[in-house]
């Protein structure tokens, strides 16, 4: 995706956003709204340039990121800052690129979650929570099964690392299976 100067400019500005988000998430366990708003406005602004991806693609990319990862927020699997950060990334990458970026983020998140769970000795509760979530979401009737009881874990995964890894991977080495 880094074939020309506008792509490189987008990649560098998105990388600055991700580096600041990484720091905020690692140190404070929060991604500030001002940071994600700055990312949205920057991604949107870059889409308006003559060689940009276009405002329509940028806005749809942001909405796909917000709605797609908003589901994980509804189930308390991600924080709101993480969801807004993915939305900001969608404004940089646009549609349909955000679809592959999202898959890359989810893959990186799975690998990171396994490593984090093993490192912090929370792998079994995390797997039990994941099993409960998928069982509820895919296999059971809503009327016959109560909401799963999640096992509280003392530490939360700083998911900005997975977001950054997935976004960087897809921007640097695009993957288009479809």
Each residue's pLDDT, cut to its tens digit, for the chain (178 residues) gives 556 677 888 899 999 999 999 999 999 999 999 999 999 999 999 999 988 899 999 999 999 999 999 998 987 788 999 999 999 999 999 999 999 999 999 999 888 888 887 888 777 877 776 777 677 667 654 445 555 555 666 667 789 999 999 999 988 777 766 5
Is 10 part of a structural domain of the chain?
A: yes
Task: Tell me how many domains the chain contains.
Answer: 1
Question: What are the structure tokens assigned to 1, written together?
Answer: 């995706």
Tell me if the pTM is above 0.85.
no
* Predicted local confidence at residue 172, as pLDDT: 78
Is 149 part of a structural domain of the chain?
A: no
Total residue length of the chain: 178
Is 44 part of a structural domain of the chain?
A: yes
Range of the domain at 23: 5-120+155-172
DSSP 135: I
Is 160 part of a structural domain of the chain?
A: yes
Is 136 part of a structural domain of the chain?
A: no
The burial of 39, by beta-carbon neighbours within 10 Å (0-12 exposed, 13-18 middle, 19 or more buried), is given as buried
157 close to 79: Cβ distance less than 8 angstroms: no
Count the Cβ atoms, other than its own, within 10 Å of residue 42.
18
Is 23 part of a structural domain of the chain?
A: yes
Q: What is the pLDDT of residues 140-166, one digit of tens each?
A: 544 455 555 556 666 677 899 999 999
Show the CA angle centred on residue 29, arms to residues 26 and 30, nearest 5°.
115
Is 54 part of a structural domain of the chain?
A: yes
Is 70 part of a structural domain of the chain?
A: yes
């Amino acid at each position: 995706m880094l074939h020309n100067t506008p792509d490189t400019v987008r990649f560098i500005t998105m990388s600055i956003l991700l580096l600041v988000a990484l720091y905020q998430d690692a140190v404070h366990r929060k991604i500030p709204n001002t940071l994600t708003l700055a990312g949205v406005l920057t991604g949107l602004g870059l889409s308006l340039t003559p060689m940009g991806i276009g405002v329509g693609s940028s806005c749809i990319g942001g909405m796909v990121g917000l709605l797609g990862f908003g589901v994980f927020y509804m189930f308390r699997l991600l924080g709101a800052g993480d969801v807004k950060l993915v939305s900001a990334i969608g404004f940089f990458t646009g549609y349909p690129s955000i679809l592959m970026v999202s898959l890359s983020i989810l893959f990186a998140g799975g690998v990171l979650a396994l490593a984090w769970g093993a490192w912090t000795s929370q792998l079994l509760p995390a797997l039990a929570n994941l099993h409960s979530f998928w069982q509820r979401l895919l296999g059971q009737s809503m009327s016959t099964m109560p909401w799963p009881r999640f096992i509280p874990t003392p530490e939360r995964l700083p998911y900005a690392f997975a977001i950054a890894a997935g976004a960087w991977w897809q921007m640097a080495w695009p993957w288009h299976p479809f």
